[in-house]
Structure 1
C-alpha cells in the first residue's frame, strides 16, 4: 500500500488495492488533510516516502517552510539513503544550513539541503532541478521511484494567495507525474473546508488524517472513482515498498 494500514472492508478490498496500484503505476499526487500533531503527520508522510529496504531505493525530496524542522530530516533518514543521489531537503532561510544537523542524537550523515530565500518561482525551479537530477542519477526514473513530501502549502496560501498557489500546484504536480512520481502535499484543514474543496480536483486522491484513541488513522478518497476507504490505522515506522 501507499501508506500503512489494512485494505478496508472485504467487499471493497479488491477495488481499493487496485486503486492504490494504479496510483503507483501512473504516478500520483495526494492531498493530505486534517489537523494532527506535527510528529504524527511526519509518521504518515514517511509511509508515503517509502520503505528504507526498497530496491531500488526511493529518491526522496522533502520541502518544508521551517529551516529547523528536525522531523523533515528524520523522514529522510527513516526512508532510505541520505546521499545526494537519493535524498534532498528544500527549505528557506540561512539557518536552514544547520537544519540537517539539528538532531544530535542521529548519526552525522545529512541530506543535501537547498536553501530558498526568494520567490515562489525560485521554489518551483528548485523542485524541477531536483527532479531532473534524480532522473539523471537513475538513468530514467522508474514508476514510484521519485517521492516528494511538500509541507509548504499553508505558507504559499498565506504569502501568495489561492490563485498563485493553484498555478504552482498545477505545474509542480505535472512535473512529478511526468516521471511517474508519488508526491503528497499537506493542507491541515478539514475535508469540507472551502480551500480543500478548491484544491481537491488537482489531486488523484485526498487522504484524511485523524487522531483517534491515541493512534493515527487515515481515510482515502479517490478522485476518479466512487471509492472511499474505511478509517485505517497508520502504524508508526510502517513504510510502503
Structure 2
C-alpha cells in the first residue's frame, strides 16, 4: 500500500461492467457473510486486509444467515430477499442462495445519473476523464455538450479523444447578450458536431438544454439507459457569475432532465474538492469524482453518495 496521499492501490469495487451473480451453497460450511466478502474481494482483486469496512457495520451476518438458511429438515425457506449496501455496493441475497452484487458506480453507468467532476488539477486531466465518460463508440451514444464559458474546441477535442461519432454529437454554447450577431452565428465544421449558440438569460440556456435533450430522445425513439452522455462545462464559471440559488435551481432542473431520460451526465467544476463553492453543489449529484496529480500521475477517488462510500485513490 502507498501513502494515503499517493495511494495507487486498486479500489474495492466489483460488479461495475455488470452485476456479479453468485450461487451460495448452504452445505459448504462457509458462513454466508464470509462468502460474500471473500467473493467481493476476489472480484475487486484486492486482499482480505484491503476490504475497507466490516460487514457487521451494515448488517448482522448471523441474522442474515438465520433468515435464509434452510430448515433443519432441509426444506428451503419461503421466497424472499434482502438488499443492503456495503462499501459502495448493493448486495441482494435471496432465499434460494442467489446473490447479486452491483457497485453504485456500475449502476450509474448502466441506469444513468449525474456525476460531479472536481479537483485542483490541470485542464488536460479533466479532458481525459471527461472523454472517458463519453462512453465506448461502439454503443452508439448520443452526446450533448452545454458549454458555459468554454470554447467549442474543448468539446471537439474530447469527442475526438473518445473516438465518438460526431454525427450524434451536439453542442450548445451560452453566449452573453452583448455579443454581436456576427460572433454568435452557428459554427460549421462540416456540420458535425452541430453547434448552437444560446443568447439570453440562464433560464433560456436551461430551457435550450432541456428542449435539446427531449428532442434528441424523440429522434432516437427513446434512449436506452446510459445512451445519452451529457456534459456541462463549466460549473466554476457559472458559480462565479450567478447567485448560489440560481446555480442550484439550474443544476436541479438539468440533472432531473438527464435522469428522466436515463442519461449519464458529467458536470465539471475545477477547484479544490473541499472548497465552499464545490461543497455547495456536491449534494445535487449522485456521485463525485475528486481528482489530483500525485507522484504517479493523475489520480481519482469516488465519493458515492447513495451508498455513502469513498474509494481509495487510484489511477485515472
The TM-score range, normalised by the shorter chain, is 0.7 to 0.9
Pick one of 203, 227, 233 that aligns with 2:285.
203
Equivalent residue of 2:145, what SS? strand
**Aligned mates of 2:236, 2:150 — CA distance in 1:** 15
Could you say which residue in structure 2 is the equivalent of 1:8?
11
String of CA shifts for 1:38-83, please: whole Å, max 9, x gaps: 1221111011111122x2x111111223463422111123332111
Structure 1 pair 230–208 and aligned structure 2 pair: CA distance change class (3 A): same
Distance 1:198 1:15 in 2: 23
Counterpart CA distance in 2 for 1:6 and 1:133 is 43
Provide the rounded CA distance (Å) in 1 between the counterparts of 2:272 and 2:213: 30
Shift of 1:196: 2.0
Unaligned runs of 5+ in 1: 102-107, 235-241
CA distance in 1, matches of 2:133, 2:156: 15
Distance, in Å, in 2 between the alignment partners of 1:50 and 1:139 is 20
Aligned equivalents of 1:23, 1:6: Cα separation in 2:
23
Shift of 1:215: 2.3
Change (3 A) 1:176 1:230: same
Say which one has the larger Rg.
Answer: 2
Q: Which residue does the alignment assign to 1:26?
A: 111
* Cα distance in 1, alignment partners of residues 186 and 161 from structure 2: 19
Maintained 8 Å contact 1:205/1:220? yes
* Structure 2: 5+ residue stretches without partners: 1-7, 13-45, 53-85, 90-101, 176-181
Residue 198 of structure 2 corresponds to which residue in structure 1? 116
Q: Which moved more, 1:152-161 or 1:183-192?
A: 152-161
RMSD value, Cα:
2.5
Which structure is richer in relative contact order (CA contacts within 8 A, separation 6 or more)?
1
- State the alpha-carbon separation in 1 of the partners of residues 152 and 274 from structure 2: 28
More helix by proportion, 1 or 2?
A: 1
- Further displaced range: 90-99 or 186-195: 90-99
Question: 1:239: which partner in 2?
Answer: none
**Does 2:295 align with 1:213?**
yes
1:51 equivalenced with 2:128 (yes/no)? no
Partners of 1:167 and 1:202 lie apart in 2 by: 10
Q: How does 1:103-182 map to 2 (within 5 A)?
A: 110-182=192-264
TM superposition shift of 1:6 = 8.3
Give the Cα–Cα distance (whole angstroms) in 1 for the partners of residues 9 and 296 of structure 2: 18
> Does the 8 A contact of 1:65 with 1:92 survive in 2?
yes
